[in-house]
A = this chain, B = another copy of it.
Amino acid sequence: MFKILLDISGACDNNLNMFKGNSKHIKSEQTREEILDSALELFRQHGFDATTMRDIAVKAGVALGAAYYYFASKDAIVQAYYEKVQQEHTARLRQMKMDGLSLRQRLAAVFYSKLDILENDRKLLGAIFRYSGEPAHPLSCLGPGTRVVREQSMQVIADAVTPEALPADLQQLLTLGLWALQMGVLIYFIYDDSPQQQRTRRLVDGALEITTFLLRLARFPLLGFARKKVLALLDEAGLLPQLNHALEAQS
């Protein structure tokens, strides 16, 4: 079931040469990690804009040129962070035992673990959403440049939905809807200044309760009609092909 994810991560990551066992590559990977970690720590402390590449290089103990050798730009560091978070999210859910859990519990696990991972990185998320309105930008969180990461994040949700064995159309609708919900939750999360972002957690609980409630209602004729309408609309809007791709990978 997870084969596609491994394929994808192998295809997208340009620095898996560390597995070759060559000590030079290991050294190189360490330097890269050092630069990335230094950057993220500075980003968390002072924010993305206030941190300069020179700061990062100094903290990592390398020259400015070295930092640019590993990361073509400050944005590229954000991209690496983006991928790192998604790898972590995928890995955590892969480890979890979901066997006895309900759909709602599985989805709660998906949403909560995402929030856990991002707990201290709320300042960083702004950098990820920064180019969401610029389709051509490689870091646009809805654009082609982040397609792989986006599909991975949809896959995590699809894996939590699949065991429910829903009709295909409803499964598509639910997965896409939940993915959109997750994006909305993350935005709320950034703006949530309650202690430990407890409001966001409650929002997740409530949203999932309503989702599962509406899911039960979706079998009734009237809402079944609405459901077909929504699906036809999303299909016409071209928002489903990517999802189909993710669903095919499960078979």
A11 within 8 A of B: no
| Beta-carbon contact of A217 and B223 below 8 Å | yes
Asked if B237 and A199 make an inter-chain contact with CB atoms under 8 angstroms apart, the answer reads yes
Residue-by-residue, is A189-223 near B (CB-CB < 8 Å gives 1, otherwise 0)?
A: 01100000001001100110110011001001011
Bound Cα distance A199, B209 (Å): 33
- Report whether B222 and A217 are in contact in the complex, using a CB–CB cutoff of 8 Å: yes
- A124-166 contacts to B (CB < 8 Å): 125-135, 137, 142-143
Residue tally, chain A, CB below 8 Å to B: 40
List 10 other contacts, CB 8 Å, given A130-B134, A210-B230, A213-B225: A125-B133, A126-B133, A126-B137, A129-B129, A132-B133, A133-B187, A203-B236, A210-B233, A213-B226, A217-B222
B135 A190 Cβ-Cβ under 8 A:
yes
B interface footprint on A46-83 (CB within 8 Å = 1, 0 otherwise): 00000000000000000000000000000000000000
A250 to B130, CA, bound (A): 35
Contacts of A233 in B (CB 8 A): 203, 206-207, 210
Q: Tell me if A188 counts as interface (CB < 8 A to partner B).
A: yes
A100 within 8 A of B: no
- Interface secondary structure of A, over-half rule: helix
A241 at the interface (CB under 8 A from B): no
Residue A229 at the chain B interface, CB threshold 8 Å: yes
Q: Give Cα A89 to B1, complex, Å.
A: 49
Given the known interface contacts A133-B125, A210-B230, A223-B217, the answer about A237 and B203 at a Cβ–Cβ threshold of 8 Å is yes
Q: Does A238 contact B (CB under 8 A)?
A: yes
Bound form: Cα–Cα A206–B237 in Å: 10
Complex Cα–Cα for A230 and B203 (A) = 10
- A67–B238 Cα distance when bound, in Å, is 42
Query: How far in angstroms is the closest Cβ of chain B from A129?
Result: 3
**Once the chains bind, are A229 and B217 in contact (CB under 8 Å)?**
no
Q: Let me know if B127 and A130 touch, CB within 8 A.
A: no
Q: Provide the bound-state CA to CA distance between A137 and B133, in Å.
A: 16
For the complex, give the distance between the alpha carbons of A214 and B217 in Å.
Answer: 13
- Closest-by-CB residue of B relative to A207 is B233
Q: What is the bound-complex CA distance between A207 and B229, given in angstroms? A: 9
**Set of chain B residues within 8 Å of A230, measured between Cβ atoms:** 210
